[in-house]
Amino acid sequence: MYTMEKTEFLEQNIFQNLKNLNDGFDSDSIQYFSEADFETVLERIEQFGIGIYEMKPWLDEDFLDIKVNEDYRKKATDPKWYKKAFSDFKKQQADLKYSASYKVSDRLLNRKSASEKAAESEALRTNEE
């Protein structure tokens, strides 16, 4: 059975149609998003039950601060902590670029993506006709 990689899962299900603002100021593997796009990221990860270990906003080529789930005495998958952290950052400073480290469960990675399932069922229907 094929197991999807965490980065692949995030690309296909969470970061889809969002603009990565990392233009080389940090590691290539870390994606940064505008405030509006990061809000979309948070909505999507909550739907999937994905957690966030830490959230890092970036301001003018520098890290502003880091918030981690332990600061809020919450599990990484508890949306209360990351929504509160995001809200705190937004109040502190407008127009930040946001990144996070994500906790994606093996159960999610082992599940086929919705698009793969749709393609398979379409192929089955076509074969049955």
16 assigned to some structural domain: yes
Q: How far apart are CA 67 and CA 74, in angstroms?
A: 12
Q: What is the pTM of this model?
A: 0.81
- Alpha-carbon torsion (30, 98, 39, 19), positive or negative: negative
pLDDT for position 118: 57
1 assigned to some structural domain: no
101 assigned to some structural domain: yes
Buried residues in 113-129 as b, exposed as e (16+ CB within 10 A): eeeeeeeeeeeeeeeee
Contact in structure between 75 and 69 (CB atoms under 8 Å) = yes
Task: Supply the DSSP symbol for 10.
Answer: I
18 assigned to some structural domain: yes
Q: Domain range holding 54?
A: 6-128
For 9-65, how does the pLDDT look when each residue is reduced to its tens digit (9 = 90+)?
999 999 999 999 998 888 888 999 999 999 999 999 999 999 999 999 998 878 889
45 assigned to some structural domain: yes
Residue in the block written with tokens 């830490």: 54
Split into its structural domains, the chain has a count of 1
29 assigned to some structural domain: yes
For 53-104, how does the pLDDT look when each residue is reduced to its tens digit (9 = 90+)?
999 999 887 888 999 999 999 999 999 999 999 999 999 998 899 999 999 9
